[in-house]
Amino acid sequence: MKRSPFLLAAFSVVFTFLLGPFLIILIASFSGDASMAFPPKGFSLQWFQKVLDVRMFRDAFWTSLQLAVASTVSALVLGTPVAYALVRFKFRGQNIVEILFSLPAIVPELVLGFGLLQYFALRMNMPIFPGLYFGHTAILFPYAVRVVSTSLRNFDPAIEEAAISLGASRLKSFLLIVMPNLRAALLAAFILAFITSFNNVSVSLFLTGPGVATLPIQMLAYMEMYFDPTIAALSSIIIVITFAIVQIAERTFGISQHI
Amino acid sequence: MAFLELTNLQVGYERGSSVLSDFHLTMEKGELVSLLGPSGCGKTTTLRTIAGFIEPSRGQVLINGRDYTKTPPHKRNIGLVFQSYALFPHLSVFENVAFGLRMRRVNNTDIRRRVTAALTMVDLIGFEKRLPTQLSGGQRQRVALARAVVIEPDLLLLDEPLSNLDAKLRVGMRAELHHLQRQLGITTVYVTHDQVEAMSLSDRVLVMNKGKIEQEGKPEEIFYRPATPFVARFMGFDNQFAGHVKSINDNQIEIIAGTCRMVARPHFIPNVRVGDPVDVLFRPEVAQLARAPSENAIPGEIVFRTFQGSTGEYLVRSALGEFTVALAETTPSFTPGAIYVVIAPENLIVEQHIEE
């Protein structure tokens, strides 16, 4: 390919704005100084050590992890049959149902968060973690439906009919024939939903409360009080883990074609 | 007694419009019947109704005397082969073929024996461990076939099984299919839009159009004596000209078309009277070319000739329209210029002209 100066300029702009911030955070997290600065002064691993030492980060990490796993699994368990029904059957009001199911992804998350706060916490007096769990399941559900139905649309319905004609009931053919072929799509949906939940701020902001906070909320709270590179170190850890998970999933299952 | 009986079948997708109406079919055990017709004629719907994927709004499906009309598809013992093969992508060739047996809870020893027998039959021994993606189109089709027959189905349904294969492979697979069906003696319904396929495989052919049977009969009957204009066109009566009836004597019709006087002795006498406008049809292979005028000849001009291997096809332009004439390559070729298209009276089909 010819290297035109224009292309080079475009590349550097994209690089600066897209990857630049990550680079700065990565570098800053190894700072030897107690305040956030770029370029950092000195080199140390003390901020990584601090991340591991601070109790509230450890607690928040576990909360976020449990929340992400629980709500992602629930969204997939609920979303897969819905996706199946939407793709395989034609029924009246299908469009309306489809729009209804994608609402949580369309409504601004702040509005959704506020609504859920009103409903779960104030009206139903629900404890914090269940509230978070239902809220996250709601925002992940449309992703699950979307990813799974895209994959189902590319799955020849004749394959299912073949299984049925060979003596499998509809349920059996779904479990034995359709599900194994959705594996990559389910994994893609899982990762996408997991990351979405793990990183969510706006909905969690309304639903967290005394004693229970997700990691992003805890990070915000911490930053309001301290401005040292701990947050940068924590961010670096999250970036590296996320990147690694996505890379492994891509190499093994080629998940990008499902998103 | 008939083995498969479809009586008075009616299938409607939407209110008012029916995809299939008044459909009757009886088949003897071991017979191969083709449902032949253009897309949308209802042939696949018929197949899916027999398989149980569509419930008819009226009528009955009887197999071996038992009423299957309300039986769900997985409780019928029917082998299906799809145009897209529909193999299970995540399962090996062996497991694909074994699936039906596993659903029937056959023990492992018998599964191994029967799958091996089925794979031997379709000549795929040594491919057991492969995944469908590692097979060629022809091999996939053979796996699909083995998978359908290994369950020893009462009925084998084939939905355009050869149309995804390339031309050469198709002919080979057709012969194999024919052999296999005869060998196993499975009662088979074969859906196709390809008349050659239907002719070469079937004991009987049903030509379908708009959800109705146009004609039913042996391949020879349908090919040589199409009962309706639709069937005639489908069977390769590609040439057509308009005229009107001058006289009718017994089975002979005299027609005036432009300046030509044509005599037809069709094997079925259309419902026409003297003076009626008619369409006259004939096949490209039955026409002859001559330099000199004669009886039943249409004057025209050769536009061009295309070489087709064993035949040469001439495009002839006349006052009555354009005709295609196919001559064996052994006959001396005609150079472009004035010519007469000669058709024997037996080879002309006459039908009432329908305003379109």
pLDDT 10s digits, B278-332: 989 999 988 888 888 888 999 999 988 888 777 888 899 998 989 999 888 777 7
Distance CA A252, CA B30 (A): 49
Chain A contact set for B90 (CB, 8 A): 180-181
Whether the pLDDT of residue B98 is over 90: the answer is yes
Contact of B104 with B112, CB cutoff 8 Å? no
Cross-chain residue pair B99–A168, CB shorter than 8 Å: yes
Q: Is B328 helix (H, G, I), strand (E, B) or coil?
A: strand
Nearest residue on chain A to B146, judged by CA atoms? A166
Contact of B241 with B320, CB cutoff 8 Å? yes
Nearest to A15 by CA among A25, A5, A26, A23: A23
Q: Which two tokens stand for residue A125?
A: 């007096």
Q: Which two tokens stand for residue B57?
A: 């709004």
Chain A contact set for B100 (CB, 8 A): 166-167
pLDDT band with cut points at 50, 70 and 90 for residue B259: confident
CA distance B25 to chain A (A): 21
Strand partners, B33: B189, B204
φ, ψ dihedrals at B190, nearest 5° = -120, 120
Of A167, A170, A180, Cβ closest to residue B103? A167
Reported as a single tens digit per residue, the pLDDT across B29-50 is 999 999 999 888 888 889 999 9
Residue count of chain A, please give it. Answer: 259
Chain B contact set for A172 (CB, 8 A): 103
Distance CA B220, CA B203 (A): 10
> Please, what are the domains in chain B?
4-232 (3.40.50.300), 236-352 (2.40.50.140)
CA–CA distances in Å: residue B178 to residues B149, B182, B185: 14, 6, 10
Per CATH, the number for A55-258 is: 1.10.3720.10
**Best of B88, B90, B141 to mutate (most A CBs within 10 Å, chain A):** B88
**Best of A165, A175, A179 to mutate (most B CBs within 10 Å, chain B):** A165
Q: Which two tokens stand for residue A151?
A: 């994959």
Look over chain A and give the mean of its residue pLDDT values, rounded to a whole number.
87
Outline where B86-155 has alpha helix (H): 93-103, 108-121, 137-149
Contact of A81 with A116, CB cutoff 8 Å? no
Query: Is B183 exposed, middle or buried (CB count within 10 Å of its CB: 0-12, 13-18, 19+)?
Result: exposed
DSSP conformation class of B75: G
Of B53, B82, B104, Cβ closest to residue A167? B104
Reported as a single tens digit per residue, the pLDDT across A61-72 is 999 999 999 999
Reported as a single tens digit per residue, the pLDDT across A164-180 is 999 999 999 999 999 99
Chain B contact set for A180 (CB, 8 A): 90
Nearest to B296 by CA among B349, B348, B344, B242: B344
Q: ∠A178-B103-A157 over CA atoms, to 5°? A: 30
Outline where chain B has alpha helix (H): 43-51, 93-103, 108-121, 137-149, 167-184, 195-201, 219-224, 229-234
CB count in 10 Å sphere of residue A170: 15
Chain A contact set for B151 (CB, 8 A): 166-167
The DSSP annotation for B265-289 comes to --SS--S--TT-EEEEEE-TTT-EE
Give the model's pLDDT for residue A68: 95
Q: Which two tokens stand for residue A123?
A: 């009206």
Give the model's pLDDT for residue A258: 67
Of B82, B89, B100, Cβ closest to residue A166? B100
CB count in 10 Å sphere of residue B276: 16
Nearest residue on chain A to B152, judged by CA atoms? A166
Distance CA B141, CA B159 (A): 12
Cross-chain residue pair A165–B103, CB shorter than 8 Å: no
Q: Which two tokens stand for residue B340?
A: 């007469």
Question: What residues contact residue B176 under an 8 Å CB cut-off, 6+ apart?
Answer: B122, B142
The DSSP annotation for A169-199 comes to -HHHHIIIIIHHHTHHHHHHHHHHHHHHHHH
Chain B contact set for A168 (CB, 8 A): 74, 99, 103
Cross-chain residue pair A163–B99, CB shorter than 8 Å: yes
What is the average pLDDT across B162-166? Answer: 84
Which positions in chain B have a beta carbon within 8 angstroms of at least one beta carbon in chain A? 51, 53, 72-76, 78-80, 82-84, 86-90, 99-100, 103-104, 144, 147-148, 151
Return the percentage of chain B with pLDDT > 70, whole number.
Answer: 97
Strand partners, B80: B157
Give the model's pLDDT for residue A44: 84
Of B80, B89, B104, Cβ closest to residue A165? B80
Whether the pLDDT of residue B277 is over 80: the answer is yes
Distance CA B98, CA B87 (A): 12
Chain A contact set for B79 (CB, 8 A): 165
What is the average pLDDT across A130-145? Answer: 90
Distance CA B186, CA B255 (A): 48
β-strands B260-264, B252-257: how paired?
antiparallel
Cross-chain residue pair A158–B82, CB shorter than 8 Å: yes
Nearest residue on chain A to B99, judged by CA atoms? A166
Nearest to B303 by CA among B280, B335, B260, B278: B335
Give the model's pLDDT for residue B16: 59
Cross-chain residue pair B53–A161, CB shorter than 8 Å: yes
Q: ∠A167-A172-A178 over CA atoms, to 5°? A: 110
Give the model's pLDDT for residue A100: 84
Q: Is the peptide bond before A40 cis (omega within 30 degrees of 0)?
A: no
Give the model's pLDDT for residue B203: 93
Whether the pLDDT of residue B356 is over 60: the answer is no
CA distance A147 to chain B (A): 20
Distance CA A99, CA A90 (A): 15
The listed range with the strongest mean pLDDT (A40-44, B153-157, B257-261, B264-268) is B153-157
Cross-chain residue pair A159–B86, CB shorter than 8 Å: yes
Distance CA A182, CA A147 (A): 10
CB pairs under 8 A between A and B: 60
Contact of A162 with B161, CB cutoff 8 Å? no
Cross-chain residue pair B86–A156, CB shorter than 8 Å: yes
Give the model's pLDDT for residue A4: 82
Of A165, A167, A181, Cβ closest to residue B51? A165
Whether the pLDDT of residue A81 is over 70: the answer is yes
Q: Which two tokens stand for residue B183?
A: 């060998």
Please state the domain extents for chain A.
55-258
Q: Which two tokens stand for residue B243?
A: 């005229």
Whether the pLDDT of residue B236 is over 80: the answer is yes
Per the listing, tokens 């509809």 go with A170
DSSP conformation class of A212: B
pLDDT band with cut points at 50, 70 and 90 for residue A41: confident
